[in-house]
Amino acid sequence: MTAITDLSVLLATMEPELVAGEFVYCTMPASQPGDYLHLRPLALFHEAEGLTLILPQDTADEADLQASAPLRQITLKVHSSLEAVGLTAAFSHALTEVGISANVVAAYYHDHIFVPAADAERAVETLRQLSAASRS
């Protein structure tokens, strides 16, 4: 799988896919990340204020953790290069235009967008429209 840097190709082929389930962001005191691996976080990030975990909502509920509002994950199926310029700006702008907040996690192969659960279907449709428009 070759990473793509061309913005027009990225937009035309991004294929947004809504991932099953709801996710939440939780924060923990700064410590060893291994202390939380049993929770099987989707992602974790160290910040000066603490450790942020992205977890399935049911995992956070079972562990009795304080969490953000429920979010849905949209994965862009295109293999975007970590050096690609403009993809995040383009989809963020499209979602901003329809009033949907976006929390973005870029991984090695794909970009993942976490949106409020109530807005998930509308967000996917907005991204599909952006992709279709870029093919025109």
Least confident of 34-43, 49-58, 107-116: 34-43
Predicted confidence at residue 30, as pLDDT, reads 78
Task: Look over the chain and give the mean of its residue pLDDT values, rounded to a whole number.
Answer: 94
Q: CA nearest 17: which of 62, 75, 86, 63?
A: 75
59-63 long-range contacts, CB within 8 A, separation 24+:
60/24, 60/26, 63/39
Q: CA nearest 86: which of 111, 108, 50?
A: 111
Q: Where are the beta strands (DSSP E) in the chain?
A: 16-18, 23-28, 43-47, 50-56, 71-76, 103-106, 111-116
Asked whether residue 26 carries a pLDDT value surpassing 90, the answer given is yes
pTM, two decimal places = 0.94
Taking residues 108-121, what's their average pLDDT? 97
Taking residues 7-24, what's their average pLDDT? 97
Residue predicted with more confidence, 102 or 29: 102
End-to-end CA separation in angstroms for the chain: 25
